[in-house]
Amino acid sequence: MTTELSPDTQAALLLTAPLLMGSGASPAETLTPGEYKCLYHRLCEMHYQLSDLLGPDAPNIINNCEPVLDGGRLRRLLERGFLLSQAVESWQTRALWVVSLSDDHYPDPIKTRLQDNAPAVLYGCGDIPLLETGGLAVVGSRHVDESLIAYTMGIGRLAAQAGCTIVSGGARGIDQAAMRGALEAGGRVAGVLADSLLKTAMNREHRDRILDGQLTLVSPYDPNAGFNVGNAMQRNKLIYALSSAALVVNTDINKGGTWAGAVEQLDKLKLTPVYVRSTGAPSAGLDALRKKGALPWPNPNETEDLVSILHTEVPVAKTPVQSELFSYDDAVDMPVVLRETPENVTQGKG
């Protein structure tokens, strides 16, 4: 893809990106996702595009946006052109890319499934088409024992052997185990990060995987952003949006990002079927997710079984986006129907 930013992407970055270029820089009062959405709809009402905020008619447009956002604040954000040029040069030097919703390269599953809740801007490193291959999302707690690490690495290896992408969040514990298992077996991984994209992409081991086309990293947050609990919670919906099915290996109950992300899928977004581990040590968190509608993981041993799981499901009710468990005898014999996957969505594009 081209490294030149489209005018719409430049405007989106000026409005929403902190453009973190050093610890001494004072953060700008960037637009929240809700504010950005209001501005975008206001521009559409006036038959303008984001890029028009950078053109000769910008003063008039900003004045007409006053009912939804303070004009002075918009002007201050849009005047950060020099800072943006520094940031873009830094990103491109490190082979990072950035796309906005108006770009053709924006990952279609995120745009199609999350609709108005899709991030205005995505940053990443690696091949964008890998993000449109669907696959298995594997998520879980950071603090787990070695038996669960081994179990999760096995899931990653099986996915690699089946030619299925692993989608995960890159956090220590379950996320990294799934990703490591897949990568070491020659598979593909989509890492959806909540922080430290630049640092992660510069890691030598990751860099080699990225260059080999095995690994793509993506984040809705500035490449230099540090860890933030809220960001970690919010990126979970991207993990599910990129996947054909999701497996929760372990979770606390009523707390933590893994729990919040799974509950959001089961109760609200319903983008993809959510499975929970059904062998090994019991988990109160997994029991609670099962009561909310999560499915017992069928424990596939063969690649064709995993592929079947990713293309079939017990029917899941779809809603518009606005925003004793371990003793199953029926875990493998569930009725299934063909469903729409990210691959199908991509094939229907255009």
Give pLDDT tens digits for 97-112. 999 999 999 999 999 9
CATH top-level class of 128-347: alpha beta
Among residues 85, 67, 111, which one has the least CA distance to residue 237? Answer: 111
Say which residue, 336 or 214, is predicted with more confidence.
Answer: 214
Give pLDDT tens digits for 142-169. 989 999 999 999 999 999 999 999 999 9
**233 three-class SS:** helix
Percentage of the residues of the chain whose pLDDT score is greater than 70: 86
Say which residue, 346 or 288, is predicted with more confidence.
Answer: 288
Among residues 342, 338, 346, which one has the least CA distance to residue 311? Answer: 338
Give the helix ranges, DSSP H, for 165-225. 174-184, 197-202, 204-211
Q: Residue 279 has what pLDDT? A: 95
| Token pair 């007409």 in the structure block, residue | 64
Residue 324 pLDDT > 70: no
> Which range among 134-143, 226-235, 282-291 shows the weakest confidence by mean pLDDT?
226-235
Q: Where in the chain is the domain with CATH 3.40.50.450?
A: 128-347
Give pLDDT tens digits for 78-93. 999 999 999 999 999 9
